[in-house]
Structure formats: structure tokens, C-alpha cells
Amino acid sequence: MLRRVAVVVAVAAVIVGVGASSACFPQGQCAGSYRDYCGEGDTTCQGHIIPPNMWQTGPIDGAWLAYGAEETIDLHLRDAVTGQTLSGNLLFVYQAVSAVESPSTGGPFPAQNAGNLGEFGDPPHPISDVAIRNDTCANEFAYAVVVLDPTTASISGVGDAGSDGATDAADDGASTDGSTE
């Protein structure tokens, strides 16, 4: 009888221990962090708007974004060169991760994010930023493309040359005399 009690206590201790532990072992190994990327004044921003409705963290063949263990990154959909921002209703977010900063220069192949490496919430609409989360203890590098609904996407802000996404897509390139330039 004493032996059965010992086994039950041991199994219960394992179940409680697993249920109370974090994704990182030993518990508390990685504390996690939060940061803004491409927000106002961010000098590290390499973000780029691809008109009319896409934004990327930087060039796919360049240096990827450091994506630390247990880190949440708020991706502001701002263009690093023009300062313009993209907003609209979210269609999807594509993410890839790599163990090296510039996967196009060699090293292991990057992988499409899945599971705990590529978490993001369903933001309210319309959006001008998306938070991604690395819910693992691995330090990685990330590349992301945010795609907005083209019927709601708009580009505005510094350096705005008049393009406001879908609202004037029909008349882009047309002159007042009806010819195209």
C-alpha cells in the first residue's frame, strides 16, 4: 500500500510540475521583452511599403530583424525611406525565421514561422501596426510581410506623393487631358 501511495504522489508531482512550468527550461531562463520596430524615431527601421497594400520588415536578401527569445515586436507599418505609413484591414502576416541574420549569404535555410515562433493576435481594424511574438527560448532572426485588404489600404504621411491606396487606384497615371504619362 505504501508503495502505491508513493507512486501516486510521484505522478502527481510530475503533473503539477509540468503544468506550472514555462516553455523555457529551466523556468525563467529567458525573461522576454517588448519593443517597437519602425515606430517614430526608430533609426534601426528597414521597413518598406510595397504599394498598394503590403509592407515588409526589410529586404528579404538583406539583414533580417533580430527576434529574441520570448520577445514581442510591434511592427509599425512605416517606410524607412519616405516616412509614410500603411494602414487598412489585415488580410494576413507571412513570417519566416532563420538562425543567421542574412540567410541569403549562406547558412541554414530559413523556415516559415509556425507554432510558438510566429504568434500574432487578431488586431482591431483598421491597423497601422501588428505585434509578432517569439514564444520560444531561441534567439532567431525574422522576416515578415504584412498584407492588407487592397480595398481598405491607404498610404499617408511624410513624403506622400498623393497615393492613397485603393481610393485613387483607378486614376493613377492619368493626366488631366486623358493621356497617360
How does pLDDT run across 57-85, given as a tens digit for each residue? Answer: 999 999 999 999 999 999 999 999 999 99
With residue 12 as reference, give the H or E element that holds it. Answer: helix 2-20
Residue 174 located in a structural domain = no
How many distinct structural domains can be found in the chain?
A: 1
Q: How confident is the model at residue 125 (pLDDT cuts 50, 70, 90)?
A: confident
Distance of CA 109 to the CA centre of its chain: 19
Distance CA 143, CA 123 (A): 19
Residue 6 located in a structural domain = no
Q: Can you read off the three cell numbers belonging to residue 136?
A: 520560444
**Which pLDDT belongs to residue 74?**
94
Residue 47 located in a structural domain = yes
Task: Name the residue range of residue 76's domain.
Answer: 33-158
Judge whether 162 and 171 are in contact, CB under 8 Å: no
CA angle 51, 133, 143 (to 5 degrees): 40
Judge whether 80 and 39 are in contact, CB under 8 Å: no
Is the model's pTM score more than 0.75? no
Residue 74 located in a structural domain = yes
Residue 59 located in a structural domain = yes
Q: Which of 93, 94, 106 is nearest to 61 (CA)?
A: 106
Q: With a cut of 90, say whether residue 56 has pLDDT above it.
A: yes
Give 89's Cβ-side CA count (13 Å radius).
5
- Mean predicted confidence (pLDDT) in 155-168: 59
In the chain, the amino acid numbered 40 is E
